[in-house]
Structure formats: C-alpha cells, structure tokens
C-alpha cells in the first residue's frame, strides 16, 4: 500500500510539471493541486490495474502499427483519468487534444523517472 502512495506522489509531481509546461493541459479546481492530485490518483489506479492488460492484448496491433496504438492507449487512459476525476470530484486536468496528451505522457514519463530515481523507489 505504501508503494502505491509513493507512486501516486510521483505521478502528482509529474502531472504538476506537465500542467505547468503544456498550454494544452489545464488544472481544474481550487487550489489547482487538488485537480492534479485527483487526476494522478486515477492515473495511478488505471496504470496499476487495467492498463497492463490492455497493452498486452493490444501488443500485436501495436507492433503492426509501429507503436502508434501505444500512443492511442496512453491518450485514452489520460482522457479516462481526466473524465473520472472531473466526474467524481469536480476537479482534475483537462486535455485539449491527442497531441497534448502525447506530449504530456512524454513529460510525465521523464519527470516520474527522475523523481523515482531521486527518492529511490
């Protein structure tokens, strides 16, 4: 359970950097960190539960599409996390389009890798 909370904290930091850097991402809520935390909570839950299954099932199509399907899956999971956080808590992160989600997932991957390495998790 503690590792999940650490992962959630790491994703919250990564999502905060993503929202700060990308004009196509907007935090909804007062203060904005609540929206970012709710969004990253659902990202952590989705990444831990159903995303590995979906990626495994889609692997042959991902190979055939030269990885484009992986981008689509990341976009869909970011949109799902955004929708869940906005629907359930009225706070979250809005995404202006597919390419903003692609850039956001790249930034989140880089930042979460750096933060994970810094805290040793």
pLDDT digits (tens, 9 = 90+) for 20-48: 999 999 999 999 999 999 999 999 999 98
Tokens (6 digits) for 87: 């629907």
The span from the first CA to the last CA of the chain, in angstroms, equals: 13
Is the CB of residue 75 less than 8 Å from the CB of residue 98?
yes
Give CB contacts under 8 A, 24+ apart, made by 101-105: 101/74, 101/75, 102/71, 102/74, 102/75, 103/22, 103/24, 104/18, 104/22, 104/24, 104/25, 104/78, 105/71, 105/74, 105/75, 105/78
With 80 as the cut, is the pLDDT of residue 121 above it?
no
Can you give the pTM of this predicted structure? 0.89
Structural domain boundaries of the chain?
Answer: 1-119
């Amino acid at each position: 359970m503690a590792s999940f909370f650490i992962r959630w904290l790491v994703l919250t930091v990564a999502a905060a950097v993503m929202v700060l850097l990308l004009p196509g991402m907007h935090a909804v809520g007062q203060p904005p960190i609540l929206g970012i935390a709710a969004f990253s909570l659902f990202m952590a839950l989705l990444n831990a539960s159903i995303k590995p299954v979906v990626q495994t099932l889609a692997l042959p199509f991902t190979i055939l599409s030269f990885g484009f399907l992986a981008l689509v899956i990341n976009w869909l999971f970011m949109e799902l996390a955004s929708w869940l956080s906005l629907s359930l808590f009225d706070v979250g992160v809005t995404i202006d389009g597919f390419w903003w989600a692609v850039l956001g997932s790249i930034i989140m991957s880089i930042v979460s890798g750096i933060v994970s390495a810094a805290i040793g998790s």
